[in-house]
Amino acid sequence: MKIIDVIASPGLTGFYFDDQLAIKSGVEHDGFTYLGEPKTPGFKAVRQRGESISVMLILEDGQVASGDCAAVQYSGAGGRDPLFLAEDFIPIILGEIAPKLVGQELDSFRKLVDLVENSQRENGERYHTAIRYGVSQAILDGVAKAQRKTMTEVILEEYELPMVLEPVPIFTQTGDDRYENADKAIIKRAGVLPHALINNVETKLGKDGELLLDYVIWLRNRIMTLGGDDYRPVLHIDVYGTIGLAFEDNVERMVDYFIQLEKAADPLHLRIEGPMDAGSLEGQIEQLKALRVALKARGVKVEIVADEWCNTYEDIVKFVDAQAADMVQIKTPDLGGIQNTIEAVIYAKKYGVGAYVGGSCNETDSGGRTAVHVSLAARPDQMLAKPGMGVDEGYMIVHNEMNRTLAVLKRDRETRSRGAN
């Protein structure tokens, strides 16, 4: 089955592009948006609509395989690629990517994605991570359609992975509406919650961490009230480096604070993502590792999750090799082609580091569904419900795709088993 054409269309994402640098500097909220001037190159406002590009492969038999190019909410921050706008990148996809794919046989996902992942433009630069991300989704979908298999099965076979017919825990994020949306996640019995978007010291963390501490106490009590005796989700909170800012990167003060958080969360297990932002890859690895070592020395079981400066497959390998974190977020759009996400999960698990197939609220339904197949095959510790910040929509997309796929795989296994007998 060959690709006979490639087309593209502009789209919207499930959230917005936000200028993280401006938000961290303390710009004022104005309804759903922000006042003040943007600080990150490419932004025209602190918050602007998220854009995507749907890439469609036309197959010989008339089938259409698709994937969505999208970038993360905080584009241009923490070493990431710049803002991704549809009008800027559709001409590149049609003019430079399409000729590489038209006429190709859809016989190998790994072979085809290499045509884009390892290519360079005339100026010597690689293609934007969002382009590689969306095109790789379309290729995986195309290979699955050509072989009449699920995307999960394609990954399992090409990477020689065992099939496990169990769901992967789903991590829901609340956005700024961290109380009402936490209720939604609890009612839906999400495996991991709430993210909580703690991205400002004064308004969300507290200058001594008191606001987050109060929130963890409330969240723990709310789970016990709404969830019942048989519901014990993992608490996973992203603090965007604000703990480091509040405690001036003093490791002992931060450990003391983590002890307070652990007590507040008990009996629930707690993960803290991005406790500090050192401003560089090397600095982040060094500081995260120092904090992790200090926590373990004092018997604190709160886990550290790497996010900022852990953007590419190569970055993830460095964090894992240094044992700098208990878990790495594998932020799917930042890694480019989804084959890098698959390989990052495999690598982290091999060396005993937790793997989290993340991504962004600023993706699309296509990215969410593809991440389900990646997760069912590669088996990370958790995956993100995406896109959006409303809980319901992203959780529905990911949860339902996971259950549909598991039902198909179980049916196929049972059918083969009956045939063998």
How many other C-beta atoms lie within 10 A of the C-beta of residue 388? 22
Identify the active-site residue in 331, 349, 350, 386.
331
CA 416 and chain centroid, separation: 35
| Residue 192 token pair | 């991991």
Count Cα neighbours of 264 within 13 Å in the Cβ-side half-sphere: 20
Q: How many residues does the chain have?
A: 421
CA 145 and chain centroid, separation: 25
Compute the C-alpha angle 77/79/81, nearest 5°. Answer: 80
Residue with tokens 């990052």: 344
Compute the C-alpha angle 315/353/158, nearest 5°. Answer: 75
| Whole-number Å distance between alpha carbons of 68 and 89 | 12
Residue with tokens 């991005």: 274
Strands 29-30 and 33-34: antiparallel
Where would I find the H helices in 237-309?
Answer: 242-246, 251-265, 281-297
Nearest to 262 by CA among 307, 306, 304: 304
39 is catalytic: no
Decide: residue 407, CB within 10 A, 0-12 exposed, 13-18 middle, 19+ buried: exposed
DSSP string computed for 124-173: SPBPPHHHHHHHHHHHHHHHHHHHTS-HHHHHHHHHTPPP--SPPPEE--
> Which residues participate in catalysis according to the annotation?
331
